[in-house]
Structure formats: structure tokens, C-alpha cells
């Protein structure tokens, strides 16, 4: 799975990085940064899927969604 970040909607409060620190860090303004260098679509390991679903559900701007990884992961 990949976690898509809609940067036009995100307002950078950093909640997602708190809920999913293994996948997301924060820049100096609180906007999420993919730790794997995956830009707007960092990969989510299967073991963290539940945490990613929680981050999607709790994003106050509905700026996150889970996508199937084209590579099938």
C-alpha cells in the first residue's frame, strides 16, 4: 500500500506524522515528509496498515488516502 498525501489540502498540523512516525516525518512547518523518499506517496509496510488507516480517518483535512501499490505491495 501507499499513503497518498494531497498537499493542496493538507494544512500541516502534523497529526499524521504523530500517528505514523515510521512512515512520515515533518518538515520545519509541520507538513508531512515521506521517510522513504516517496514524495507524495510513501510506501506503507503491511504491518503498519492499521496505523495508516487511522491516520487517514483522523486527518482533519481529509488529505490522506491509501492506494494500492502498483508493484503489488
* Residues found near ligand SF4 in the complex (CB under 6 A): 5, 10-16, 32, 59-61, 63-64
> Closest CB to ligand SF4 among 18 and 69?
18
Q: What letter does residue 37 receive in the DSSP assignment? A: S
Q: Cβ of residue 72: shortest distance to ligand SF4, in angstroms?
A: 25
> Closest CB to ligand SF4 among 12 and 38?
12
Range list of β-strands (E), 1-73: 2-5, 24-26, 32-34, 64-67
Q: Cβ of residue 63: shortest distance to ligand SF4, in angstroms?
A: 4
Sign of the Cα pseudo-torsion (31, 6, 18, 33, in order): negative
Amino acid at each position: 500500500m501507499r499513503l497518498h498525501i494531497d498537499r493542496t489540502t493538507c494544512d500541516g498540523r502534523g497529526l499524521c506524522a504523530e500517528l505514523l512516525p515510521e512512515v512520515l516525518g515533518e518538515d520545519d512547518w509541520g507538513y508531512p515528509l515521506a521517510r522513504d523518499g516517496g514524495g507524495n506517496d510513501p510506501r506503507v509496510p503491511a504491518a503498519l496498515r492499521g496505523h495508516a488507516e487511522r491516520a487517514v480517518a483522523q486527518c482533519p483535512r481529509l488529505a490522506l488516502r491509501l492506494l494500492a501499490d502498483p508493484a503489488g505491495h
